Amino acid sequence: MNKFAQQLGSLLASGATIEPVRVGALVVEPAFLAPMAGVTDLAMRRIARRFGAGLAFSEMVASGDFAQSASGQGGKGGRESALRALGDGVSPHAVQIAGCEPDSMAETARLVEGAGADLIDINMGCPAKRVVGGAAGSALMRDLDHAARLIAAVTGAVKVPVSVKMRLGWDDDSRNAPELARRAEAEGAAMVVVHGRTRQQFYRGEADWEAIRPVCEAVNIPVVANGDCRSPRDARAMLTQSGAKAAMIGRAALGQPWIVGDTAYFLRNGYERPGPSWLERREAAREHLACLLDLLGPAQGLRHARKHLAAYADVAARAGGGLDSPSRRRLVESEDADEVFDLLARLYQCKSEAEAA
């Protein structure tokens, strides 16, 4: 048995608990909702925070688009960036920004802070070709001098804490996350988040939680571990293997945004709380849809909601609820909001009635 397995067994047996995380002046619970493009909309972040997530990060906000939107320009891209940065009803409000020009990143950070952000995260981990092709995201891990200049520009522009999200490195030959983390700390970053894969891995294979440990050993600021955390017990294993102070949950939160709060509770108390009732699940899904319709309008709101609706249906089915196949198809294809609300009610109906009986 290796030392990490021994540590994990000891931790699980002891019921040890994880302390809140201090990020600058913020003190937050040790489980976060990851920033995910096209996913972590305002509604999802509100729900995750209400169920107890320590932080719920916005979708990635492109620095150039956001700065233009603030000046009344920027067209569709600017309007979309402004929507991604909304934080009404989310506190603390964490916004992720991306870009490759120090001046533009600094200006965007100032604008986001002025709009109410309590924490600003710099994206240095996104592997998407369109982001990397613009010399942003994980491309910045190929030029640590430039990455440090970006961090210095952002931390120098705002008073709120700044975090940096990265990967282990560009590829297996350049796993330089410990060095980037050291530079981030030196430039004033208050926290780093590490996804346990290289950029060249994208999302293939399994995240390497043990490989995050050298980052934790390199800095004094909190390190957050990210990648393949699917449950509260996964989170505990992730923290044991990595030495990180908090767990970040991404794709596993689709269809069950409450899982981040469930994870925070487990880490803080050493035991799992009962999951949300079926009535609470139904109301969360309906709230999610209603918020998207309000923000984006009926047509665009329904289109944006489809990935979430499919995920809510899949999670419900795994838990013994769900819809028949034709109804599930209508749930994600209908262009009638009233019909979708009715289908959401049916999705949770039998289990909700059983709870009430």
Are 76 and 195 members of one domain?
Answer: yes
CB–CB of 180/223 below 8 Å?
no
Q: Of 100, 126, 216, 229, which one is the catalytic site residue?
A: 126
Are 319 and 192 members of one domain?
Answer: no
Quote the pTM value: 0.92
Are 63 and 188 members of one domain?
Answer: yes
Is the backbone peptide bond immediately before 127 cis, with ω within 30 degrees of 0?
A: no
State the pLDDT at residue 64.
76
Are 244 and 320 members of one domain?
Answer: no
CA distance 254 to 196: 20
CA distance 348 to 22: 38
Are 65 and 154 members of one domain?
Answer: yes
Are 164 and 109 members of one domain?
Answer: yes
Mean pLDDT computed over 84-88: 89
Helix axes 278-296, 298-318, angle to 10 degrees: 160
341: number of Cβ within 10 Å: 14
Residues 8, 11, 13, 16: what is their CA dihedral angle, to the nearest 10 degrees? Answer: -160
Closest CA to 141 of 173, 174, 101, 106: 174
Tally of domains in the chain: 2
Phi/psi of residue 258, nearest 5 degrees: -70, -15
Please, what's the largest Cα pairwise distance for the chain? 63
Among candidate residues 269, 287, 313, the one where a domain is terminated: 269
* Strand spans (E) along the chain: 21-23, 26-28, 31-33, 55-62, 94-98, 119-124, 162-167, 191-195, 223-226, 246-249
CA distance 165 to 120: 11
**Of 160-164, 176-180, 352-356, which range is least confident?**
352-356
Q: For the segment 209-254, what is each residue's pLDDT rounded down to a tens digit?
A: 999 999 999 999 999 999 999 999 999 999 999 999 999 999 999 9
Question: Tokens representing 190?
Answer: 């208050």
Computed over every residue of the chain, the mean pLDDT equals 92
Selected residue with higher pLDDT from 271 and 3: 271
DSSP state of 274: P
**Residue 169 belongs to a domain with what CATH number?**
3.20.20.70
Are 204 and 265 members of one domain?
Answer: yes
* 350 belongs to the catalytic site: no
Are 196 and 254 members of one domain?
Answer: yes
Are 151 and 187 members of one domain?
Answer: yes
Among candidate residues 269, 290, 318, the one where a domain is terminated: 269
Residues 94, 284, 316, 57: what is their CA dihedral angle, to the nearest 10 degrees? Answer: 0
Among candidate residues 243, 269, 295, the one where a domain is terminated: 269
Are 289 and 238 members of one domain?
Answer: no
Are 117 and 7 members of one domain?
Answer: yes
Can you give the residue range of the structural domain that contains 19? 3-269
Please determine, for residue 267, whether its predicted confidence score (pLDDT) is greater than 90.
yes
Beta pairing partners, 211: none
Please determine, for residue 14, whether its predicted confidence score (pLDDT) is greater than 50.
no
State the pLDDT at residue 78.
57
Mean pLDDT computed over 170-195: 98
Are 175 and 291 members of one domain?
Answer: no
CA distance 93 to 88: 8
**Of 36-40, 61-65, 258-262, 300-304, which range is least confident?**
61-65
State the pLDDT at residue 85.
85
